[in-house]
Amino acid sequence: MKTKITWLLILFTVAAMMGLGCSSDKKAGTPVQSEQVDEQRELKIVTSFYPMYIMALNITKGISGVEVINMTEPVSGCLHDYQLTPRDMKNLQEAEIMIVNGAGMESFLDEIRDRRKNLKIVDASAGLELLEQTDGEVNPHLWVSVSGAIDQVNNITRQLTRLDPSRASSYLSNAATYVKQLEALKQRMHEKMDTIKIRDIITLHEAFPYFAQEFNLNIKAVIQHEPGSEPSAGALAKLIDETKESGVKVIFAESQYSSQSAEVLARETGAEIYYLDPAVSGPMEPDAYLKIMENNLKVLEEALK
Ligand SMILES: [Zn+2]
């Protein structure tokens, strides 16, 4: 079976010459005959990490011949300083398209480009307006705001339809369905968030600026400038002073990262810790992002009332 598929692929490639994007007709008289093989070639898409995977699942939902695989372990959180593993490279094998967040999130992208020269990269952040982090780098956490997620879904879809035009109408109609759900979510979140009383918050790492911008929250301080690494004693002491001075009472930690410093900060300033989910891990299901955000909304309502 595998040999048959390989043969068919070779034949299709030769026939189409262009490779990607050209669904070829079945050739009469080819040595391979199978009623089971789809008219369209199989397409393997790899996503760099969780939020891209959930978007891709929605965009490719129910489309035959398209397989989506997440390259990294679902528990790896954000990809800051992520090192590629042999397992990741194995996941990349046979993939024709890789969907990345872009905006500097995948620091290993050059290495992948080097090792897989024919891989087509779909950059979810291409052309989108980006915020700057405190360290002067662009902030890659676009998907954490619902508007950013919508922009990225549309961006991925646009690029995917160009790379695989034979399935363009299916991608577009799936994306439209998902965007409608995201728009409804955004509206629900606005209805609740527009009336909250507290607007000043502290977050664990710089995952929430796009989210804060969308819902008019002021991030007064960030605890970990290097995600996953705790601030120095001196930096923490300074943070405690600043928090006392500004009177911020709400700290948003993230379950994906340890929050010892957040606990110290809360204890020293009388602020409360709540957990927001930046949607970097979770169930591998199409509606996972929607559910995560609904849950975040509950936390926000409780924390900021
Ligand atoms: Zn991050």
Enclosing H/E stretch for 218: strand 218-222
Same domain (yes/no): 127, 216 = no
In a domain, 33, yes or no: no
The pLDDT assigned to 155 comes to 98
Same domain (yes/no): 131, 13 = no
Same domain (yes/no): 221, 292 = yes
Whether pLDDT at 119 is above 80:
yes
Q: In this predicted model, which residue has the larger pLDDT, 33 or 60?
A: 60
Whether pLDDT at 28 is above 60:
no
The pLDDT assigned to 259 comes to 82
Per-residue pLDDT of 178-237, as tens digits, reads 999 999 999 999 999 999 999 999 999 999 999 999 999 999 999 988 777 899 999 999
Residue 154 belongs to a domain with what CATH number?
3.40.50.1980
In a domain, 55, yes or no: yes
Per-residue pLDDT of 236-284, as tens digits, reads 999 999 999 999 999 999 988 878 999 999 999 999 999 999 999 999 9
Q: Report CA(79)–ligand 1 centroid distance (Å).
A: 7
In a domain, 119, yes or no: yes
Q: At what angle do helices 233-246 and 260-269 cross, to 10 degrees?
A: 40
Q: Report CA(105)–ligand 1 centroid distance (Å).
A: 8
CB atoms within 10 A of CB 104: 16
The pTM assigned to this predicted structure is: 0.85
Q: Report CA(80)–ligand 1 centroid distance (Å).
A: 6
The answer to whether residues 59 and 175 touch, using CB atoms and an 8 Å cutoff, is yes
The answer to whether residues 249 and 271 touch, using CB atoms and an 8 Å cutoff, is yes
In a domain, 290, yes or no: yes
**Containing structural domain, residue 56:** 39-187
Q: Report CA(141)–ligand 1 centroid distance (Å).
A: 6
Q: Report CA(258)–ligand 1 centroid distance (Å).
A: 13
Which of 57, 193, 203, 210 minimizes the C-alpha distance to 148?
A: 210
Q: In this predicted model, which residue has the larger pLDDT, 20 or 212?
A: 212
Q: Report CA(92)–ligand 1 centroid distance (Å).
A: 23
Which of 160, 145, 142, 42 minimizes the C-alpha distance to 99?
A: 160
Same domain (yes/no): 74, 136 = yes
Whether pLDDT at 16 is above 90:
no
Same domain (yes/no): 212, 231 = yes
In a domain, 34, yes or no: no
Q: Report CA(200)–ligand 1 centroid distance (Å).
A: 20
Q: Report CA(207)–ligand 1 centroid distance (Å).
A: 5
Same domain (yes/no): 82, 21 = no
In a domain, 32, yes or no: no
Q: Report CA(133)–ligand 1 centroid distance (Å).
A: 11
Cα 295 versus chain centre, distance? 18
The answer to whether residues 42 and 65 touch, using CB atoms and an 8 Å cutoff, is yes
Whether pLDDT at 23 is above 90:
no
Same domain (yes/no): 293, 222 = yes
Side chain identity, residue 220: K
In a domain, 275, yes or no: yes
Per-residue pLDDT of 149-188, as tens digits, reads 999 999 999 999 999 999 999 999 999 999 999 999 999 9
Same domain (yes/no): 178, 252 = no
Q: Report CA(16)–ligand 1 centroid distance (Å).
A: 41
The pLDDT assigned to 229 comes to 84
Q: What is the mean pLDDT of residues 272-301?
A: 96
Same domain (yes/no): 6, 105 = no
The answer to whether residues 100 and 52 touch, using CB atoms and an 8 Å cutoff, is yes
Same domain (yes/no): 76, 178 = yes
The pLDDT assigned to 256 comes to 82
Among 187, 205, 238, residue at a domain's last position: 187
Q: Report CA(206)–ligand 1 centroid distance (Å).
A: 6
The helices-and-strands tally (H runs, E runs) of the chain is 10, 8
Bin 102: left if φ > 0, else alpha if -120 < ψ < 50, else beta: left
In a domain, 222, yes or no: yes
Same domain (yes/no): 43, 127 = yes
The pLDDT assigned to 31 comes to 40
Up-side HSE of residue 225: CA atoms within 13 Å toward CB? 12
Q: Report CA(275)–ligand 1 centroid distance (Å).
A: 15
Look at the chain and report how many structural domains it folds into: 3
